[in-house]
């Protein structure tokens, strides 16, 4: 029994050592700052379809050890709460990150946040990269607004057509009844000429 106990004890130490080394290696490999390079080259994959983009962001999250949304909150929002001022590069990365989250999920809040951040470049003659993302993000906002208007107009038109279709038979029947009342009952028609006899 003592030999088995010693064997199990050694195995437990081996498992503990391996798990500790693996955790340390993962912690060392996790580098949230990797998101910086991903965001700086976001124009390469920002036009991907939502499913592909979502999958790519998930892969980047594993490599960085933190999701994009968490990175944006912990990096930029924390800096603001601490009274820090974001520089031009940080603002651009934050705006791009929120745009990518919107393109992958189509959640409007991310797009609104992206527009709010990138608006700091409006009216400025900064770097061409800043102006590119300013117009690109604003274009997505305009497209999202137009899609909302189109959807609302379609719903409204569909409702109006349904109302008119429901009212049309009643209107026609009333018109026919009023026409029949205007036809004189005392004016018999001639059986040979099919004209109304006027005496």
**Interval 97-127: pLDDT, tens:** 999 999 999 999 999 999 999 998 887 766 8
pLDDT at 182 exceeding the cut of 70: no
Q: What pLDDT does 85 receive?
A: 87
Q: Which of 4-13, 120-129, 131-140 has the highest mean pLDDT?
A: 131-140
pLDDT at 136 exceeding the cut of 60: yes
Does a structural domain hold residue 100? yes
In percent, how much of the chain has pLDDT > 90?
43
Does a structural domain hold residue 51? yes
Q: How far is residue 142's CA from residue 126's CA, in Å, rounded to a whole number? A: 22
Does a structural domain hold residue 1? no
Task: Give CA angle at 127 (123, 128), nearest 5°.
Answer: 95
Burial of 145 (0-12, 13-18, 19+ CB in 10 A): exposed
Residue 189, φ and ψ in degrees, nearest 5: -95, 145
User: Which residue segment(s) compose the domain that 107 sits in?
Assistant: 28-152
Does a structural domain hold residue 139? yes
More confident residue, 99 or 30: 99
Q: How far is residue 42's CA from residue 46's CA, in Å, rounded to a whole number? A: 6
Q: Give me the mean pLDDT over the 33-55 stretch.
A: 93
Closest residue by Cα to residue 38 from 78, 96, 86, 91: 96
Does a structural domain hold residue 32? yes
Contact call for residues 94 and 74 (beta carbons, < 8 A): no
Does a structural domain hold residue 59? yes
pLDDT band at 196 (very low <50, low <70, confident <90, very high): very low
Q: For residue 164, what are the β-bridge partners?
A: none
Q: How far is residue 56's CA from residue 111's CA, in Å, rounded to a whole number? A: 19
Does a structural domain hold residue 89? yes
**Based on the structure, what is the number of domains in the chain?**
1
Residue 62, φ and ψ in degrees, nearest 5: -65, -40
Q: What pLDDT does 2 receive?
A: 55
Q: For residue 196, what are the β-bridge partners?
A: 189
Contact call for residues 71 and 32 (beta carbons, < 8 A): yes
Does a structural domain hold residue 197? no
Q: Return the minimum-mean-pLDDT range out of 49-53, 119-123, 169-173.
A: 169-173
- SS3 at position 196: strand
């Amino acid at each position: 029994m003592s030999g088995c106990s010693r064997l199990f004890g050694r195995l437990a130490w081996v498992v503990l050592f391996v798990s500790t080394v693996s955790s340390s290696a993962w912690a060392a490999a996790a580098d949230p700052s990797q998101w910086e390079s991903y965001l700086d080259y976001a124009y390469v994959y920002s036009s991907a379809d939502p499913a592909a983009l979502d999958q790519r962001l998930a892969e980047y999250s594993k490599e960085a050890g933190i999701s994009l949304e968490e990175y944006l909150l912990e990096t930029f929002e924390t800096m603001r709460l601490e009274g820090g001022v974001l520089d031009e590069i940080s603002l651009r990365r934050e705006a791009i990150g929120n745009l990518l989250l919107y393109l992958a999920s189509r959640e409007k809040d991310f797009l609104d946040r992206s527009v709010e951040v990138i608006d700091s470049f409006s009216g400025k003659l900064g770097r061409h990269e800043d102006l590119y993302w300013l117009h690109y993000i604003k274009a997505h906002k305009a497209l999202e607004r137009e899609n909302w208007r189109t959807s609302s107009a379609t719903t409204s038109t569909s409702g109006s057509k349904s109302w008119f279709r429901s009212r049309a038979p009643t209107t026609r029947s009333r018109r026919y009844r009023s026409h029949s009342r205007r036809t004189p009952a005392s004016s018999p028609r001639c059986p040979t000429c099919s004209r109304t006899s006027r005496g």
